[in-house]
């Protein structure tokens, strides 16, 4: 077995480390060559070697930061996460080189001079630093996040939210700094490349990836519409979702979907199987799975191939003693089962129909379509008992829309 197969994390970290060392070394070499070339040409606007080290070290930081931001946007456990960790860490190392050439070699640790070195206050351009407070704050925040990145490996929501905000702040600060009027043409080109790459990665995730309910972008997105939905309670009903402009109404419903995906849908693929003998052997990936799947449901989801497959369901079989397969009420045929996986599952049944057992016909029926589809009220519900179900915002009952915080009522039917 190769070393990369034994420890892919260390090998990827080594590859990115060597690449980062090459980029930082090239930045210093280019700085020395530029200073030598400009000094030889006799140009009146001659800068010191330290000045060019400051400039090209921040260029190296931006070059390493761009893939780090892209990998963070396209975050996925495995190789993408490992490359993001490596690029994010070594981009901070390059930023430390920039701080060394600025704070130590240019200002000789004179922080008072750094704080008061804004443009227009000093004559020497090499001793000019715009917004030094923001740069120091970014350095401290970035360094703290790198420490948390390698010291805390478990999922903590607060750390993840601050990390998303830090990536956004870093991207905005670098793009604004490189796109400033006093920046060189090369810096402007680098800012456009960084902005184009990061925005392309974000659009790719937006179009082809399901949003992560725990990510910073979804948190901001949902919080924004929560605030908007609270405003209508204070002001008037003019901001209710179905009276908003069409685009905002759709986005509001999409925000509700993210909340439901985070709080109402749970991943069962991590639950240990109760019958390992029912599991199918892993199926190797093939290109045709991009537009098709296995007959038993494998590769419905390319990230979790076994999710929803017949073998996974059989290995985690639920208690079906409340149901019988003898009544011809609901036929399960190819007409009602459009997917190959469902047809394969129905072909293994002794009969092709099913219905609730007569003894369980007194189960509650709630007048909400969403509740009917997502809940099975236990058989402890007695006939004639009046049930009350709270409905989420934008809920719909049997008689039409239900206001936020409203209630849907239904009476348990008698078995007779």
253 and 186 in a common domain: no
Q: What is the pLDDT of residues 11-27, one digit of tens each?
A: 889 999 999 999 999 99
Q: Who has greater pLDDT, 403 or 90?
A: 90
182 and 254 in a common domain: no
Evaluate if residue 181 carries a pLDDT over 90: no
Predicted pLDDT of residue 231? 73
Residue 37 is part of a domain; what is its CATH number? 1.20.120
Predicted pLDDT of residue 237? 56
170 and 100 in a common domain: yes
What are 397's strand-pairing partners?
400
Residues recorded for the chain: 416
Predicted pLDDT of residue 120? 54
Is residue 102 a contact partner of residue 56, using CB atoms and an 8 Å limit?
A: no
Global model pTM greater than 0.75? no
Q: What is the pLDDT of residues 306-316, one digit of tens each?
A: 777 776 655 55
Quick check: is 158 in a domain? yes
Evaluate if residue 261 carries a pLDDT over 50: yes
Evaluate if residue 148 carries a pLDDT over 60: yes
Confidence of residue 123 (pLDDT cuts 50, 70, 90): low
239 and 172 in a common domain: no
**Considering all CA atoms of the chain, what is the largest pairwise distance in Å, rounded to the nearest integer?**
103
The gap between the terminal CA atoms of the chain, to the nearest Å, is: 69
- Report, as an integer, the average pLDDT of 211-229: 83
Evaluate if residue 2 carries a pLDDT over 80: no
Q: How many CB atoms within 10 Å of residue 55?
A: 20
Q: Who has greater pLDDT, 2 or 127?
A: 127
Predicted pLDDT of residue 103? 92
Confidence of residue 305 (pLDDT cuts 50, 70, 90): confident
Predicted pLDDT of residue 124? 66
Domain boundary among 161, 180, 208: 208
Confidence of residue 3 (pLDDT cuts 50, 70, 90): very low
- Report, as an integer, the average pLDDT of 1-10: 51
Confidence of residue 410 (pLDDT cuts 50, 70, 90): very low
Evaluate if residue 400 carries a pLDDT over 50: no
89 and 238 in a common domain: no
14: exposed, middle or buried (C-beta count within 10 Å: 0-12, 13-18, 19+)?
middle
Q: How many CB atoms within 10 Å of residue 8?
A: 14
Evaluate if residue 402 carries a pLDDT over 80: no
Q: What is the pLDDT of residues 378-397, one digit of tens each?
A: 444 444 555 444 444 444 44
Rounded distance, CA 16 to CA 87, Å? 7
Range name among 19-23, 107-111, 232-236, 393-397 with the lowest pLDDT average: 393-397
What value does the mean pLDDT of the chain take?
Answer: 74
115 and 67 in a common domain: yes
Three-class DSSP category at 355: strand
Domain boundary among 208, 227, 250: 208
Evaluate if residue 409 carries a pLDDT over 60: no
180 and 42 in a common domain: yes
Is residue 125 a contact partner of residue 183, using CB atoms and an 8 Å limit?
A: no
Name, in order, each residue with C-beta under 8 angstroms of 394's C-beta and a sequence gap of 6 or more: 241, 253, 256, 401, 404
Predicted pLDDT of residue 53? 93
Range name among 125-129, 238-242, 326-330 with the lowest pLDDT average: 326-330
- Between strands 330-331 and 353-356, the pairing is antiparallel
Evaluate if residue 122 carries a pLDDT over 50: yes
Predicted pLDDT of residue 414? 45
Quick check: is 323 in a domain? no
101 and 69 in a common domain: yes
Predicted pLDDT of residue 30? 95
- Report, as an integer, the average pLDDT of 121-145: 83
Evaluate if residue 295 carries a pLDDT over 90: no
**Per-residue 3-state assignment (H helix, E strand, C coil) for 174-186:** HHHHHCCCCCCHH
Helix runs in 47-156, H state only: 49-73, 79-99, 111-115, 132-151
Range name among 140-154, 171-185, 239-253 with the lowest pLDDT average: 239-253
Domain count, the chain: 3
143 and 65 in a common domain: yes
Q: What is the pLDDT of residues 335-378, one digit of tens each?
A: 333 444 444 444 444 444 444 444 433 333 333 444 444 444 44
Confidence of residue 61 (pLDDT cuts 50, 70, 90): very high
256 and 123 in a common domain: no
Q: Who has greater pLDDT, 31 or 340?
A: 31
- Between strands 353-356 and 323-324, the pairing is antiparallel
Q: Who has greater pLDDT, 120 or 68?
A: 68
Evaluate if residue 230 carries a pLDDT over 70: yes
Domain that holds residue 369: 362-416
231 and 169 in a common domain: no
Confidence of residue 266 (pLDDT cuts 50, 70, 90): low
Predicted pLDDT of residue 268? 65
Rounded distance, CA 363 to CA 361, Å? 6
Predicted pLDDT of residue 343? 40
Quick check: is 166 in a domain? yes
Quick check: is 357 in a domain? no
Quick check: is 280 in a domain? no
Predicted pLDDT of residue 208? 83
371 and 224 in a common domain: no
């Amino acid at each position: 077995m190769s070393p990369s197969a034994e420890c892919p994390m260390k090998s990827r970290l080594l590859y990115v480390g060597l690449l980062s060392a090459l980029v930082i070394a090239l930045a210093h070499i280019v700085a020395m060559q530029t200073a030598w070339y400009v000094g030889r040409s006799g140009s009146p606007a001659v800068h010191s070697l330290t000045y060019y080290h400051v400039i090209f070290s921040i260029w190296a930081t931006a070059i390493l930061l761009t893939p780090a931001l892209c990998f963070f946007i396209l975050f996925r456990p495995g190789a993408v996460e490992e490359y993001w960790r490596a690029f994010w860490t070594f981009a901070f190392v390059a930023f430390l080189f920039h701080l060394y050439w600025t704070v130590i070699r240019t200002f000789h640790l004179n922080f008072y001079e750094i704080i008061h070195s804004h443009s227009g206050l000093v004559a020497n351009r090499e001793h000019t630093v715009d917004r030094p407070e923001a740069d120091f704050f970014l350095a401290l925040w970035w360094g703290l996040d790198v420490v948390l990145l390698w010291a805390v490996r478990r999922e903590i929501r607060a750390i993840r939210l601050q990390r998303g905000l830090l990536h956004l702040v870093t991207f905005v600060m670098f793009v604004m700094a490189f796109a400033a009027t006093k920046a060189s043409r090369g810096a402007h080109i680098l800012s456009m490349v960084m902005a184009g790459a990061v925005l392309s990665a974000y659009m790719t995730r937006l179009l082809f990836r399901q949003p992560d309910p725990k990510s910073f972008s979804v948190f901001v997105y949902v919080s924004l519409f929560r605030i908007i939905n609270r405003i209508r309670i204070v002001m008037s009903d003019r901001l209710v979702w179905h009276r908003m402009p069409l685009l905002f109404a759709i986005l509001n419903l999409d925000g509700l979907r993210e909340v439901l995906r985070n709080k109402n849908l749970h991943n069962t693929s991590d639950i240990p199987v109760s019958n390992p003998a029912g599991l199918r052997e892993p199926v190797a990936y093939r290109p045709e799975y991009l537009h098709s799947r296995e007959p038993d449901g494998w590769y419905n989801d390319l990230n979790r191939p076994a999710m929803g497959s017949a073998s996974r369901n059989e290995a985690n079989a639920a208690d079906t003693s409340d149901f019988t397969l003898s009544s011809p009420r609901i036929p399960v045929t190819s007409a009602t089962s459009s997917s190959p996986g469902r047809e394969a599952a129905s072909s293994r049944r002794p009969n092709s129909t099913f219905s609730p057992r007569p003894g369980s016909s007194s189960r509650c029926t709630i007048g909400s379509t969403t509740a009917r589809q997502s809940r099975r009220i236990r058989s402890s519900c007695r006939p004639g008992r009046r049930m009350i179900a709270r409905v989420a915002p934008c809920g719909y009952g049997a008689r039409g829309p239900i206001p936020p915080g409203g209630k849907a009522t239904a009476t348990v039917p008698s078995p007779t």
